[in-house]
């Protein structure tokens, strides 16, 4: 028998089930049973077996179990329900069950619930307030004195911001945060998780609970101007560069992003047969490093033979290509680790140990945990100086590109690299910390399916080692991203996720340029604004797609102008004072297209659809009005040169001609038919000027 029974003989003698060794029954009608009883004495010796008709009343079992959601937890501010049930059908009068909550400020339910005649259960609604969290005990009492209890967890309605890796493309994350700053007091983020550059951004973001942390990160990113503000060559690479008289990092990173490291060889040694020959000689001397050096030496250095061996020898001592010491110095000078520990923010910085391959997190209080963001099985204090800054650097260490970072606790000491090796966008950490609303910001585009390989490439051709290796890396990275951003089974945990990501890359992983940083930040703002409008139901999925195309168009127009403003014609104009009319007209056409796009968005969203003025005392402020009115921002000396040039005025395109008789020369030749500036409506100018 599964349920407790009480049995009465006709003479009302109660048969105590506790005194029975074993028993069974067969129903003869609704409530009369012939019960075979083997009585057992207290010393457990067997007595004789009796057989008699008895009335058996099944003692009904009372239960309280979760109903909706199907786990014993509910998010503060939401409703839910539990199921109150009995194992036997309720009698004709029904069953009135008394209900109570151990803390009615956290969770409330009716005082009673009635199970109707013949029924076995009733569903009871639960309500909670938005504030408060903790464990509550729900108690149900039946009229016969039976009782059931359920421990129910009321979860805080927490918001998380999750930041991906991406190197210098982390400027997109800052732009998205500039939008979240506008709604900060509404969403109240209390969980910050990051990987790689996302860990660096997360570190500063977790210093306070208010949006002032976003202001700080904006200022830091707007202060970056050169690659050297982010990284320098590692000592062995710098030594090789000094030997060759060429900065190897500039050569390798030019037109070859770190996302395609194996293309470096082809980009360099494939330029000339001579370069290929020297690369082969270098390969024989020093392997892959020698091949790269050989190609570089032949291209850039006279009489290279005497230098290859020394450069290769230096590179053989390298464990990483670049050094993030400028980034570390910048973060250490601007982040207070004690403030982070006391801010009330939960922080998780993802990193991977080279020794055991495990995924670890650094926490806001400077502890290292393994595997699970709430792990208690391994949770040790980091004893390395500046534990959080060190952890952020470890999380940013792209293997072989940046230096692996040693992190030490009382129980271990291992070398850690970029958390993106295992977790590019650490949403799961936010889930494990209890986040219910997750703003997941990815610095790089994501496609649900891997992009097809270049149709001009045949992977079956000889000599395709590099292309095949790169393709394999691309597919692996895409698979990791897919599982984190859009898993095959979807997200089924009831949490709200807002994915904010670009559709194009404005600049590369290692490319620091003040103009491209600002373009990417504006792009991030637009994508965050649109994603949040979709979350609120203010635009539908089709409109979200259209505004994504709008943001891509605007960003591409600005990137085009930025690139044209630093091509050889413009560099020559700086040196000679003479411009190329066709180049200027091309830039003006694109600026007018930008003006049209600005009007389109302003009419839809007003000034709120645009980021606020990006301010920098050194390089100057930039507003949305500047995008269509003047040049993009550049590194010096080009920035200073263009600051004195009016884009819409007729510029000098040729020098004056000296008179043959020695008389007065003709004046310099200026442009004619200069394209007029597209006028922005006054309402847009006023709104964006105040922005």
Q: What tens digit of pLDDT does each residue of 76-107 get?
A: 888 889 999 998 899 999 999 999 999 998 99
pLDDT band at 131 (very low <50, low <70, confident <90, very high): confident
How many Å is the maximal CA-CA distance in the chain?
146
Nearest to 279 by CA among 605, 270, 127, 385: 270
Res 134 pLDDT > 50: yes
Q: Mean of the pLDDT values across residues 565-587?
A: 94
pLDDT in tens, 20-78: 333 444 443 334 334 444 444 444 444 444 444 444 455 678 999 998 887 888 888 88
Q: What string of H, E and C letters represents the secondary structure of 238-307? A: HHHHHHHCCCHHHHHHCCCCCCCCCHHHHHHHCCCHHHHHHHHHHHHHHHHHHHHHHHHHHHHCCCCHHH
Cα-to-chain-centroid distance, residue 613: 25
Return the pLDDT at 242.
87
Return the pLDDT at 6.
44
Res 648 pLDDT > 90: yes
3-state secondary structure of 653: strand
Residue 100, beta-bridge partner list = 139
Looking at per-residue confidence, does 267 or 549 come out higher?
Answer: 549
Return the pLDDT at 469.
57
Structure token digits, residue 674:
């200069």
Res 123 pLDDT > 90: yes
Return the pLDDT at 18.
42
Res 465 pLDDT > 70: no
Res 421 pLDDT > 90: no
How far apart CA 377 and CA 388 sit, in angstroms, is: 21
Res 671 pLDDT > 50: yes
DSSP 50-115: EEEEEEEEE-PPEEEEEEESSSSEEETT--EEEEEEESS---TT-EEEEEEES-TTTEE--SEEEE
- Tell me, yes or no, if the pTM score tops 0.75: yes
Residues 6+ apart with CB under 8 A from 614: 218, 222, 518, 521, 621, 622, 623
Nearest to 69 by CA among 497, 495, 439: 495
Worst-scoring range by mean pLDDT, 34-38, 413-417, 554-558?
34-38
Res 515 pLDDT > 60: yes
Q: Where are the domains of the chain?
A: 21-55, 62-155, 159-227+337-446+486-542, 233-324
Please calculate the CA angle 216-222-224 and round it to the nearest 5 degrees.
115
Taking the CA atoms of the chain, what radius of gyration do you get in angstroms? 35
* Burial classification of residue 476, based on how many CB atoms lie within 10 Å of its CB (0-12 exposed, 13-18 middle, 19 or more buried): exposed
Res 4 pLDDT > 70: no
Mean pLDDT estimate for the chain: 82
CB atoms within 10 A of CB 176: 30
Return the pLDDT at 304.
54
DSSP 361-420: EEETTSEEEESSTT--SSEEEB-SSSHHHHHHHHHT--TTTB--EEEEBSS-EEEEEEGG
Residue 46, beta-bridge partner list = 40
Structure token digits, residue 182:
């506008």
Looking at per-residue confidence, does 472 or 509 come out higher?
Answer: 509
Res 159 pLDDT > 90: yes
Please calculate the CA angle 425-430-433 and round it to the nearest 5 degrees.
155
Phi/psi at 316 (5° precision): -65, -20
Res 138 pLDDT > 50: yes
Helix segments in 120-196, DSSP class H: 171-182, 184-187
pLDDT band at 485 (very low <50, low <70, confident <90, very high): low
Residues 6+ apart with CB under 8 A from 145: none
Return the pLDDT at 531.
97
What CATH code would you report for 159-227+337-446+486-542?
A: 3.40.1090.10
CB atoms within 10 A of CB 361: 29
Res 200 pLDDT > 60: yes
pLDDT > 90 fraction of the chain, expressed in percent and rounded? 57
Please calculate the CA angle 315-320-321 and round it to the nearest 5 degrees.
70
Res 543 pLDDT > 80: yes
Q: Mean of the pLDDT values across residues 496-518?
A: 93
pLDDT band at 2 (very low <50, low <70, confident <90, very high): very low
Return the pLDDT at 665.
74
Res 479 pLDDT > 70: no
Q: Mean of the pLDDT values across residues 133-156?
A: 91
Give the CATH fold of the 62-155 domain.
Answer: Immunoglobulin-like (2.60.40)
Worst-scoring range by mean pLDDT, 111-125, 174-188, 246-260, 431-445?
246-260
Return the pLDDT at 642.
96
3-state secondary structure of 648: coil
Nearest to 173 by CA among 445, 441, 556, 526: 441
Res 154 pLDDT > 80: yes
Q: Mean of the pLDDT values across residues 297-305?
A: 51
């Amino acid at each position: 028998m599964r349920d407790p029974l009480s049995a009465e003989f006709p003479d009302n003698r109660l048969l105590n089930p506790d005194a029975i060794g074993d028993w069974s029954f067969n129903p003869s009608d609704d409530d009369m049973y012939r019960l075979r009883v083997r009585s057992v004495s207290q010393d457990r010796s067997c007595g004789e077996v009796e057989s008699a008709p008895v009335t058996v009343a099944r003692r009904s079992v009372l239960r309280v179990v979760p109903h909706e959601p199907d786990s014993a937890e509910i998010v503060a501010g939401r409703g839910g329900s539990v199921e109150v049930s009995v194992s036997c059908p309720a009698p004709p009068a029904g069953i009135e069950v008394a209900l109570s909550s151990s803390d009615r400020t956290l969770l409330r339910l009716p005082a009673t619930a009635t199970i109707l005649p013949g029924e076995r259960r009733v569903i009871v609604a639960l309500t909670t307030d938005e504030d408060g969290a903790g464990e509550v005990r729900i108690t149900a009492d039946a009229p016969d004195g039976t009782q059931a209890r359920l421990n129910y967890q009321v979860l805080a309605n927490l918001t998380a911001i999750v930041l991906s890796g991406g190197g210098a493309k982390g400027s997109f994350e800052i732009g998205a945060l500039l939008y979240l700053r506008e709604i900060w007091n509404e969403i109240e983020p209390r969980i910050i998780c990051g990987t790689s550059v996302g860990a660096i951004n997360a570190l500063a973001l977790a210093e306070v609970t208010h949006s002032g942390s976003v202001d700080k990160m904006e200022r830091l990113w707007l202060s970056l101007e050169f690659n050297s503000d982010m990284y320098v060559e590692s000592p062995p690479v710098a030594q090789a560069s000094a030997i060759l008289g060429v900065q190897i990092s500039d050569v390798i990173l030019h037109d070859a992003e770190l996302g395609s490291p194996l293309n470096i060889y082809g980009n360099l040694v494939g330029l000339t047969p001579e370069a290929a020959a020297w690369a082969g000689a270098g390969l024989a001397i020093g392997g892959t490093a020698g091949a790269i050096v050989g190609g570089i030496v032949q291209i850039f250095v006279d009489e290279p033979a005497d230098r290859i061996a020394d450069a290769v020898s230096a590179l053989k001592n390298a464990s990483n290509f670049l050094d993030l010491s400028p980034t570390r110095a910048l973060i250490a000078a601007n982040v207070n680790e004690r403030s982070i520990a006391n801010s009330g923010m939960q922080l998780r910085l993802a990193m991977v140990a080279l020794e055991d391959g495990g995924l670890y997190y650094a926490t806001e209080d400077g502890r290292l945990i393994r595997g699970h963001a709430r792990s208690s099985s391994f949770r040790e204090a980091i004893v390395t100086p500046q534990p959080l800054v060190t952890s952020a650097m470890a999380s940013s260490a792209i293997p072989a590109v940046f230096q692996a970072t040693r992190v030490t606790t009382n129980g271990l000491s291992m070398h850690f690299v970029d958390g993106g090796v295992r977790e590019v966008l650490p949403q799961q950490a936010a889930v494990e910390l209890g986040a219910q609303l997750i703003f997941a910001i990815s610095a790089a585009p994501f496609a649900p399916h891997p992009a097809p390989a270049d149709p001009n490439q045949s992977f079956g051709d000889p000599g395709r080692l590099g292309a095949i290796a790169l393709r394999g890396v691309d597919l692996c990275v895409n698979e990791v991203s897919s599982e984190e951003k859009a898993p095959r089974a979807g997200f089924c945990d009831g949490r709200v996720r807002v994915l904010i990501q670009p559709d194009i890359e404005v600049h590369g992983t290692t490319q620091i340029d003040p103009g491209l940083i600002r373009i990417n930040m504006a792009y991030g703002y637009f994508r965050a604004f649109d994603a949040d409008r979709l979350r609120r139901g203010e635009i539908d999925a089709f409109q979200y797609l259209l505004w994504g195309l709008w943001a891509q168009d605007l960003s591409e127009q600005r990137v085009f102008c930025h690139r044209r403003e630093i091509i050889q014609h413009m560099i020559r104009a700086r040196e000679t004072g003479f411009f190329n009319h066709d180049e200027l007209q091309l830039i003006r056409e694109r600026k007018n297209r930008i003006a049209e796009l600005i009007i389109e968005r302003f009419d839809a969203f007003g000034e709120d659809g645009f980021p606020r003025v990006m301010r920098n005392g050194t390089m100057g402020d930039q507003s949305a009005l500047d995008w269509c009115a003047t040049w993009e921002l550049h590194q010096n000396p080009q920035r200073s040169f263009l600051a004195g040039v009016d884009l819409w005025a007729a510029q000098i395109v040729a020098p004056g001609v000296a008179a043959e008789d020695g008389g007065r020369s003709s004046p310099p030749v200026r442009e004619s038919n200069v394209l007029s500036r597209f006028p922005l409506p006054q309402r847009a100018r006023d709104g964006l000027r105040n922005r």
